[in-house]
Amino acid sequence: DTGVSQNPRHKITKRGQNVTFRCDPISEHNRLYWYRQTLGQGPEFLTYFQNEAQLEKSRLLSDRFSAERPKGSFSTLEIQRTEQGDSAMYLCASSPYQGGDEQFFGPGTRLTVL
Amino acid sequence: DQQVKQNSPSLSVQEGRISILNCDYTNSMFDYFLWYKKYPAEGPTFLISISSIKDKNEDGRFTVFLNKSAKHLSLHIVPSQPGDSAVYFCAASYTGFQKLVFGTGTRLLVSP
């Protein structure tokens, strides 16, 4: 399967714990995006990378959130000191083109903070 | 502010008939529009897109229409099939914006 993969698919954690998600984009896609989707809403942009450089971060990405893409391949999204409001589906997408063209999404990681 | 709006949360259609899903946008800078389909427990899957230089784009059973003056686009599915039952998201972007802005989605149910 050469699509975008995300791990884990589900994560249940207690409030205050740290969690880390991984995204493996389609190989050779130089752009990687993170989105968050809550119930009844569409995906909301969090951040994106071109190769290893993080070029934009949304205001939704508080100081507790950090994303990395070492060597321009896979990416990780870490949430420190999780809160119940962080419960959501975290989606990763990749694209080989300039922004505005189609993005290919992974299956997402569903986070539940108890 | 909701820059991309899908005002119909759900739509029910019989198999074989046409499904029409609507989307409105407010940001006149948007010049590229996409439709994604999402099944439960899966990520969104790209369906079809349209650039603002066009007013129609077809791909098999799927056609997207763009009315720039009304800031409105629609997705037509003809004929509708039960496998089309999913949540459909409209998304928009513009050159240099580097991200997609999504609507809240419309749940389509196609009954046999």
- B56-98 pLDDT, tens digit per residue, is 999 999 999 999 999 999 999 999 999 999 999 999 998 777 7
Rounded Cα distance, A64 and A72, in Å: 22
Quick check: B92 and B3 in contact, CB under 8 A? Answer: yes
Closest CA to A74 of A104, A58, A51: A51
Distances (CA, A) of A82 to A59, A65, A69: 17, 9, 21
The pLDDT confidence band at residue A59, using thresholds 50, 70 and 90, is confident
Q: Where are the beta strands (DSSP E) in B1-112?
A: 4-5, 10-14, 19-25, 32-38, 45-51, 56-59, 62-67, 72-77, 86-93, 101-102, 106-111
pLDDT of residue B2: 83
Across the interface, of B41, B100, B101, the residue whose CB is closest to A103 is B100
Report whether pLDDT(A100) > 60.
Answer: no
Q: Where are the beta strands (DSSP E) in chain A?
A: 5-7, 10-13, 19-24, 31-37, 44-50, 53-57, 65-68, 75-79, 88-95, 104-105, 109-113
Chosen from B23, B99, B107 to mutate, greatest number of chain A CBs within 10 A? B99
Instruction: Give me the mean pLDDT over the B35-54 stretch.
Output: 94
Mark yes or no for CB contact B32/A100 under 8 Å: yes
| Number of Cβ pairs < 8 A linking chain A and chain B | 67
pLDDT of residue A60: 82
Report whether pLDDT(A99) > 70.
Answer: no
Residue with tokens 């999204």: A77
Token reading at B14: 């019989």
- Nearest chain B residue (CA) to A54: B98
In a 3-state reduction of DSSP, which class is residue B86?
strand
Closest CA to B52 of B18, B95, B111: B95
Report whether pLDDT(B112) > 60.
Answer: yes
Report whether pLDDT(B40) > 60.
Answer: yes
Q: Is B95 at the interface with chain A, CB within 8 A?
A: yes
Mark yes or no for CB contact B43/A56 under 8 Å: no
Report whether pLDDT(A98) > 60.
Answer: no
Q: Is B31 at the interface with chain A, CB within 8 A?
A: yes
Rounded Cα distance, B69 and B72, in Å: 8
Mark yes or no for CB contact A99/B96 under 8 Å: yes
Mark yes or no for CB contact A102/B42 under 8 Å: no
pLDDT of residue B41: 83
In a 3-state reduction of DSSP, which class is residue B27?
coil
Quick check: A51 and A72 in contact, CB under 8 A? Answer: yes
Across the interface, of B4, B44, B98, the residue whose CB is closest to A99 is B98
Mark yes or no for CB contact A100/B45 under 8 Å: no
Instruction: Give, as one character, the DSSP assignment of residue A99.
Output: B
